[in-house]
Amino acid sequence: MRIKDVAFFAYPSDDVAATRAWYEDTLGLAFAEAYVEAGVEKYNEAHLATSCFGLMASEWLGRPPGSGAGAFFEVDDIEAAVRELHEKGVMTFDVFDGPVCKQASLTDPEGNKITLHEAKNLSIRPNLVLL
């Protein structure tokens, strides 16, 4: 067996539709068509450059909302992104300025941690495709 790529990653949600709307309104993600069961949105995914970010019903994922902590979204200008979030009333942690990147974290309405990431030197990550 050889792992080729990450197919998608998903965060747990008790209300996928409402949480999806927050990601669309707050972060500007565009989601695909929802998977609906018994009239309730159970899964949806946003297609990015080379990956997929999904929201999945917590009972399907087997994890409670608020336990997601691995999404790092690449941005061109982290300071501008943080200012935009603050203008929308979304609080973030202070920008961390490290040797190879800058990062700022926030949480979605269900408590899942999201991190915005700005790479400083793309030559160290040649496979990174920015939107």
Instruction: Say if CB 12 and CB 58 are below 8 A apart.
Output: yes
Instruction: Say if CB 109 and CB 18 are below 8 A apart.
Output: yes
Burial class (CB in 10 A: 0-12, 13-18, 19+), 95: middle
d(CA 10, CA 31): 13
Q: Please report the domains of the chain, with CATH numbers, ordered by start residue.
A: 9-124 (3.10.180.10)
Local structure of residue 98 (DSSP, 8 states): -
Q: pLDDT tens track of the chain, all 131 residues?
A: 776 777 788 999 999 999 999 999 999 999 999 999 999 999 999 999 888 999 999 999 999 999 988 888 999 999 999 999 999 999 999 999 988 899 999 999 999 999 999 998 755 555 555 44
pLDDT on residue 131: 45
Residue type, 129: V
